[in-house]
Amino acid sequence: MDINLLFSIDENFTTQLMTTVYSIYANSNKDNHYHVYIVQESPLKTADQLQTFFDQYDMDYHPIVIDKHDFSKAPVSKRYPKSIYFRLLAHEYLPTNLDKILYLDADILCLNDMTPFYQTDLSGYLYAASMHADALNLTSTVNKIRLDTDLDNYYNSGVLLMNLALIREKVHPSDIFKFIEEYKNFLLLPDQDVLNKLYGDDIMPVPDNYYNYDVRKDLTYQIVSDGEYSPSWVAKNTVFLHYCGKNKPWHAKNPNDKYNFIYKHYMHLTLNDNN
How many residues would you count in the chain? 275
| Greater pLDDT, 142 or 269 | 269
Beta strands in 105-251 (DSSP E): 108-110, 127-131, 155-163, 203-205, 213-214, 240-242
Q: What's the total number of domains in the chain?
A: 1
pLDDT at position 220: 87
Least confident window among 76-80, 138-142, 254-258: 138-142
| Greater pLDDT, 181 or 186 | 181
pLDDT at position 152: 65
Least confident window among 62-76, 130-144, 253-267: 130-144
Q: How many Å apart are CA 35 and CA 101, to the nearest integer?
A: 9
Least confident window among 21-25, 27-31, 197-201: 197-201
Average confidence (pLDDT) over 14-20: 97
Average confidence (pLDDT) over 6-28: 96
> Percent of the chain, pLDDT > 70?
88
Q: How many Å apart are CA 82 and CA 67, to the nearest integer?
A: 11
pLDDT at position 136: 45
Could you report the per-residue pLDDT of 125-177, keeping only the tens digit for each? 999 999 876 644 445 555 554 555 656 678 999 999 999 999 999 999 999 88
Question: Which CATH number covers residue 170?
Answer: 3.90.550.10
Average confidence (pLDDT) over 246-267: 86
How does DSSP assign 202-255, residue by residue? GEEE--HHHH-EEGGGHHHHHHHTTT---HHHHHHH-SEEE--SS--TTSTT--
- Note down the domain range covering 167: 2-273
pLDDT at position 202: 95
pLDDT at position 149: 60
Q: How many Å apart are CA 197 and CA 150, to the nearest integer?
A: 9
pLDDT at position 16: 97
